[in-house]
Amino acid sequence: MMGKQRLLFNLTKNKKITVLFEKYFSDTTATNNNEKTTHFGYKTVKEDDKVKEVYTVFEKVANSYDKMNDAMSFGIHRIWKDIFIQRLGPTHGSKLLDSAGGTGDITFRYLNYLKNIPNHQGVKSCVTVCDINENMLEVGKVRAKKLGWIDQNDFDIEWMQCDAEKLPFQDDSYDAYTIAFGIRNVTHIEKVLSEAYRVLTPGGCFMCLEFSHVDNNILKWFYDQYSFQIIPVLGTLIAGEWQPYQYLVESIRKFPKQEEFKQLIEAAGFRNVTHENLTCGVVAIHSGFKL
């Protein structure tokens, strides 16, 4: 039982997961023309239009994306990503798919992690950075060249423009799959999870780093004020764009809570699924294995 069959089996087996599936995967309604709609932040848009909207958002902010990450998080996003790679704990000879990898933050950390541990067998490690947005990938390629990751003997980097919902890779082809701050932007989360499961080798690890839900009521109030009042203003000042960062804070609130997302990952077929809150749940690391 593989792919969609496994997903349907798991969903029907657990009524609670089925309800979650309908709530988050089909946050859709049928229009009079039978066109499905979904959320784009707090707006309701046609499903086909969400892809275009998200593409436009990241096309606009690609060149200032990393600078804005530093400004919005006071640089803490760097610590979150370092912890994320430490939890992954890659080994030499592994093959990583960095989905929604954009400007390469996770990829470069993966490579640095391996560079700092002995490669006794002299095996080559490979990473494929995929992203739906060409502008983000171009920024990543420039960064890779500046950081000296081109033509390294022990590492191969491939950059590919593709949709995380429809990956052009063979079954069982990657040892690890990472997606950082990307899965809340897709139209159909269930398709991303299903594709991640499909392309991983048996025993392969799925890891997701995503904004989540703060578990402290007092901190949550301050976080909400900062998110809605300050972040869009920073977007205007640094990136010259307000709307993409208004969408950012709204999309975080629309994303499933930690336990709910954990159940959705399990519904896709993953086992030993866990989550770990960072900074009181501002972000969470979700992981699971294809067993």
Query: How confident is the prediction along the chain (291 residues), in pLDDT tens digits per residue?
Result: 444 444 444 444 444 444 454 454 444 444 445 567 765 565 665 766 666 666 676 677 777 778 888 989 999 999 999 999 999 999 999 999 999 998 999 999 999 999 999 999 999 999 999 999 999 999 999 999 999 998 888 999 999 999 999 999 999 999 999 999 999 999 999 999 999 999 999 999 999 999 999 989 999 999 999 999 999 999 888 888 878 788 889 999 999 999 999 999 999 999 999 999 999 999 999 999 999
Alpha-carbon span 192 to 195, nearest angstrom: 5
Q: Which CATH architecture has domain 3-289?
A: 3-Layer(aba) Sandwich (3.40)
Do residues 251 and 41 touch, judged by C-beta distance below 8 A? yes
* Backbone φ/ψ region at 172: left (φ over 0), alpha (ψ -120 to 50), beta: left
- φ and ψ at residue 119, rounded to 5 degrees: -110, 75
Residues tagged in the binding site annotation: 103, 131, 163-164
Cα 248 versus chain centre, distance: 13
On whether the CB atoms of residues 164 and 132 are closer than 8 A, the answer is yes
| 200-211/271-278 β-pairing | unpaired
User: Binding site residues for S-adenosyl-L-methionine, as ranges?
Assistant: 103, 131, 163-164
User: Strand, coil or helix: what is 273?
Assistant: strand
Which residue is it, tokens 């022990």?
154
Q: At what angle do helices 134-146 and 105-115 cross, to 10 degrees?
A: 30
Report d(CA 245, CA 251) in Å as an integer: 10
Count Cα neighbours of 34 within 13 Å in the Cβ-side half-sphere.
0
What pTM was computed for the model? 0.85
Write phi, then psi, for 85 (nearest 5 degrees): -70, -35
